[in-house]
A and B are shown apart, each in its own frame.
Chain A
């Protein structure tokens, strides 16, 4: 049954991506956090301070729920890096994940190249801080020393989220956060100015590029959400009547 639902999900997304390619226009609601990225970069340009991006230590690419968060964070890094290069702002990417490091380097290098300034790319702008305590304290140290005007905290976080975000607050940085880790969402919501919650993190790429394919997949995702809502309602009513066939079916 799970397999069938998964195939249905893929089919729905592919169908709407196909419609998108055929010219149908899909709109998604604006994501304030994504819209705030140029503002954050602009703030850094005005203040002559860098922008800091960091993806959190939870998002090892080996993890089926955390890895995608890191990949989504790297998609956002590409956008941030492009904006930063355009504005002439330094960007510091603090990455605690050894398996994501090559992707971060490639993304930053590509962003500089796409803006026609490959010579400005400095590998030292990417810092690798291994281990949670080292990453947390190293990032705090960076915040205190370099005082970035904006921080972008997107990805899979553990408890370092509250410390890094609060550290950013202490120096008065504009903060954009985003995670799918429910246990860290409250801390980031309390400390960040803008927030990407749960699926907004994954939809960020679509919001940035407004590519019809990507928007189509989000539309397909929304259709499946409706299906899940219907299943929940039907299951609730059947459960109240003590009919369990649907619950048993979905358990398969």
Chain B
């Protein structure tokens, strides 16, 4: 270690130093916000326009899938909330469901974040929360053909026969649009079993990690819109003109992205200069 020059040291900074620097970098913007404007990209705009205006009629049924858990709230929840608000304001009826154990917590958060919109809606008529499902892709495929066999009752154990909205929802033919927000693959289940098989309109509100996988499907038209990570959530908040959690988080995202680029540049400067020296 002692005979390491500055270039070697640049390449071998202890990772704990970086963890602390990253932690501080992420925290500071919450205390001293910067507030840079967020530009809306086309895929997010297509998502928003696909669930508003002429693309949704009052009474249309939309499925919104909580494919994310509490751990991914920061990435998925803001965009999901905006989409729920937008659909409610168009008069759509929403079927909420989820593939994560903590879907009830995510639903509670949504109802809290969009409380003004939920206040005007009647449970069982304008929206229903079906809750957690298991069975993976088989369950999603079965949902398309016979939804009542996958969910014989809602999350609160009310039989489907007693829920007015469920009288109109039996399968893919009753659904106008599906919005899936995923940290995993549930969106791709809907892609294969709903969009691919039956042509149901589908959009994804995904985490940033899945963005590169989702782009080809968006460009091919399988997804009519795509929101990626916290940035996508912030863009949706811009479109609906209601800044929220994602907009707040953008400052931290700015700082962390800049930091990672600087760290990579630093390491490479050290690497290239030490190679030249050698």
Contact = CB atoms under 8 A, between A and B. Distances in A.
| Pair from one complex | yes
A190 B111 CA distance: 40
Nearest to B136: A62
B209 A63 contact: no
B185 A58 contact: yes
Interface in B112-139: 135-138
B136 A182 contact: no
B183 interface: yes
B189 A63 contact: yes
A183 interface: yes
Given A133-B71, A158-B183, A158-B184, A62 B209 contact: no
B135 A62 contact: yes
B212 to A, nearest CB: 6
A10 interface: no
A131 B102 CA distance: 12
A60 B136 contact: yes
A247 to B, nearest CB: 11
A217 interface: no
A226 interface: no
B73 to A, nearest CB: 14
B185 A62 contact: no
A159 B188 CA distance: 17
Interface in A43-76: 58, 60, 62-66
Contact of B192 (A62, A64, A183): A64
Interface in A155-188: 158-159, 181-183
Interface residues of B, number: 16
B22 to A, nearest CB: 14
Nearest to A159: B209
B210 A62 contact: no
Contacts of B192: 64
B212 A63 contact: no
The dominant DSSP class at the A interface is loop
Contacts of A62: 135-138
Contacts of B71: 133
A182 B138 contact: no
Contacts of A66: 185
Contacts of B213: 181-183
Which 6 A-B residue pairings sit nearest by Cβ, starting from the closest? A62-B136, A182-B213, A183-B213, A63-B136, A63-B137, A183-B210
Interface of B: 71, 101, 135-138, 183-185, 188-189, 192, 209-210, 212-213
Interface of A: 58, 60, 62-66, 131, 133, 158-159, 181-183
18 contacts: A58-B184, A58-B185, A62-B135, A62-B136, A63-B136, A63-B189, A64-B137, A64-B192, A65-B185, A65-B188, A66-B185, A131-B101, A158-B184, A159-B209, A181-B213, A183-B209, A183-B212, A183-B213
Given A58-B185, A133-B71, A183-B212, 5 more contacts: A63-B136, A64-B192, A66-B185, A158-B184, A182-B213
